[in-house]
Chains A and B, each alone.
Chain A
Amino acid sequence: MKTDTSNSPYNSQSWLTATAATTALLGTAALLYRINWPRLLFRTIFAVLAPTKERLWPSDDVALISPQSRGMAWILVAGPPPPHDIHLIRKMMRHFWPHVWPPIDSNQIQVETLPTPREDSETILIWPSSSTSTHTNSNNHTALIHVHGGGMVAGTTGTERGFAVELARRL
């Protein structure tokens, strides 16, 4: 005799189907809720246009818009930064952002790595090339010590290397 189990809570196939459908529904809803589509669209367009480095916005809003770079726009498109994943944030900060900065011109700047035992350290001393050979021979020199940011968690040494170089250049 065949037993009818269609109304049984132990009908594994119907439970599986219901669970899968509910999960898919909730997952899609969560995804749609999480993604800010207008912002994503704006930032995607910006990521494409930003490399031109041209002003894209009326001057009134330029303070907001002009600092953006392709790197930053890319991160924002890929994001918003996943706050639950510190390692991903650090990876982006250390390995992607430096590429948006101009390379160090060794004719202008020389770099000395600070030999302190820090894990994955990028602590560096930046010397104007012209003074590198003489900086130990005179007194009363000035030095600027730049401490990078990154909210204490992200580590933006690589990102801010270009900024430090620019500071050295202008000083």
Chain B
Amino acid sequence: MDYRLCPEYSVQEAVQDVVDAYQYFVTKYPQYTKLSFLGGSAGAGHALLATLQLQKEKIQPLPTSLVLSSPGPGMEFLKPIDDIDIHNSSTTYWKSLTENAPVDGFMVGGFYQYVIGVVFGSNQANREYVQSQLQVSNLEKLPPTLVTAGSYEVILEGVQKLVSCLQKANVKVDYKEYPKMQHCHFAFFEWSPESSAALDELITWLQASWK
């Protein structure tokens, strides 16, 4: 599923694209009653925000489950938020941002900090939108959710924070942290036996959520 990109477009417009595509699908194929969102990285963030938007707009059927693989950026704005200064170029508000930087083979070259700067640094509307959506009170009606991360991820603490907020909101959440794996490692199933096995686990979870 494609969507418009920042900085030319806002996060809200990107999420609206996901919502529109979802609506198109459920309208054209109403026999599909068990739908799940699966997103990786920013896609996981958009899947989460789109599900909240679908709930808000009372669009039926709602997703029956969510799989959020390495969700971020945006977890900085989960409420209650930490005292985070995203304008600080060193961006060290999570220890994992610095400690895992040498071992996260995917999120290289300070790319995450760059993204945060482009998407949120100078765009107050994006910050406000994500902050307004990612509140524990909004998360309460989310469907069963699987959250995954690699222990070598630079955004590991952001993912863990999401899990803790989901638990606080009484969402049925399963969290799987894969040791020594990098950001979005599922996508490398062809080269990494660990990722391939993890993908099978993910599919098993999904299929169970459809029963």
- Contact between A152 and B31, CB atoms less than 8 A apart: no
Q: Are A163 and B186 CB-contacts (below 8 A) given A116-B20, A152-B5?
A: yes
Residues in A with CB closer than 8 Å to B31 are 135-136, 138-141
Which residues of chain B are near A143, meaning CB under 8 Å? 25, 29, 32, 34-36
Q: Which of A1-9, A10-18, A24-32, A64-72 contacts B (4 or more CB under 8 A)?
A: A64-72
- A68 and B7 CA atoms in complex are apart in Å by 28
- Whether the pair A83, B110 counts as a contact (CB closer than 8 A) is yes
Which residues on B sit within 8 Å (CB–CB) of A53?
191
Most buried by A among B36, B41, B185, B200: B41
Is B203 a contact of A170 with CB atoms below 8 Å? yes
Residues on A with C-beta less than 8 A from B17 are 116, 118
Contacts of B2 in A (CB 8 A): 118, 121-123, 148, 155, 157
Contact A141 B33 (CB under 8 A): yes
A150 pairs with B42, CB closer than 8 A? yes
Stretch with Cβ within 8 A of A (4 or more), from B140-148, B157-165, B174-182? B174-182
Q: Which of B188, B193, B199, B207 has the most CB of A within 10 A?
A: B188
**Pairs across A and B, CB under 8 Å, 8 listed:** A63-B179, A66-B191, A125-B25, A144-B206, A150-B5, A152-B42, A160-B40, A170-B200
Question: A-contacting residues of B (Cβ < 8 Å)?
Answer: 1-7, 11, 14, 17-18, 20-22, 24-25, 29, 31-47, 50, 63, 70, 73, 103, 105-106, 108-112, 114-115, 118-119, 150, 152, 178-182, 184-195, 199-200, 203, 206-207, 210
**A residues adjacent to B (C-beta < 8 A):** 53, 61-69, 76, 79-81, 83, 86, 90, 101-102, 114-116, 118-119, 121-123, 125, 135-136, 138-155, 157, 159-160, 162-163, 166-167, 170-171
Known: A115-B24, A149-B70, A152-B45. 5 other contacts (CB 8 A): A142-B34, A144-B38, A147-B46, A149-B184, A166-B190
